[in-house]
Amino acid sequence: MIGAGNGDRPPAKAGCWIAGEGNFSASSGTEEVRLRVQQLSLREQMERNHFLLVRLNAASARLIHSLDGGDVFDAIAETIANLIGSEEIAVFDYSAAKQNFSLAWSWGVEADALQPFLCGAGMFGRAVEQGTSQFKERQPKALLLPFEKKLTACVVLKSSREIVGVIALFGLLPQKNGLEWADYELLKFLETYAAVAIQFQRLQARQVAP
């Protein structure tokens, strides 16, 4: 065997053999600890990813369930409250033709506090202009408008690349220090699938209406 030495030594990979001492040096223990830490970190990474998939699966199942006579807005609210951690949400419709916003639904936010958003300034405007969701944590403070103080995110709702609305996410629950990695992934999921579900519900309402 290439590199196997004289047969008296244990394989070099697990530590440092010191001739004449007949055992491993302390560094073998350190190496073992290092490998164990690395292994735990990889496991944690896998577990985190798995838990994200569980949450995405639940969000998706909830939205699909809402298509059969449920309420899509309730499904969005439940997903955000239970899986992300906010009970202050508003959904705005956006008309690309008229370039204006209208309030479609809200939960936990005073109607008066939502009025300034209808003009489409600030994070809202940027979200629609750039076609990408905007997050307060990632905005330069100077760009934030006074009425955006409690805003956490503007999630652009896109169906077939067309912007149909924006979810405004206001205060997070007190136990949340901010949005986390998995929260961004869930919001990314809602960008598309909440938009599709809302459109589905609207088409259904038009069919039912006389």
Partner 1 sequence: MSTKKILLVDDSCTARLVNRMIFSQKTNYVLISAVDGKEAVERAKREMPDLILMDIVMPRMTGLEACRALKKDKETEKIPVILLTTRGEEQFVQEGYASGCSDYLTKPVNDVELLDLLRAYLGE
- Contact positions vs partner 1 (CB under 8 A): 47, 50-51, 54-55, 57-59, 61-62, 65, 75, 78-79, 81-85, 87, 173-176
Edge-to-edge, what's the strand order for the sheet holding 162-169?
A: 100-107, 89-95, 162-169, 153-159, 134-135
Asked if residue 120 lies in contact with residue 128, where contact means CB atoms within 8 angstroms, the answer is yes
The nearer residue to partner 1, 34 or 50, going by C-beta atoms, is 50
CB closer to partner 1 out of 83 and 144: 83
User: Based on CB atoms, which residue is closest to partner 1, 150 or 176?
Assistant: 176
How near is the Cβ of 79 to partner 1 at its closest, in Å?
6
CB of 60 to partner 1, least distance (A): 10
Supply angle C-alpha 100, 132, 168, rounded to 5: 60
Q: Pick between residue 106 and residue 117 the one whose CB is nearest to partner 1.
A: 106
Q: Closest distance between partner 1 and the C-beta of residue 158, in Å?
A: 22
In the complex, the smallest distance separating the C-beta of residue 78 from partner 1, rounded to whole angstroms, is 4
Can you tell me the distance from the alpha carbon of 107 to that of 88, in angstroms, rounded to the nearest whole number? Answer: 6
Residue ranges of alpha helices (H) inside the chain are: 26-67, 72-79, 111-114, 122-130, 181-208
Residue 181: which residues within 8 A CB-CB, separation 6 or more? 48
Min dist. Cβ of residue 164 to partner 1 (A): 22
| Residue placing its CB nearer to partner 1 in the complex, 81 or 196 | 81
Distance CA 74, CA 83 (A): 14
Which letter does DSSP use for residue 11 in this model? P
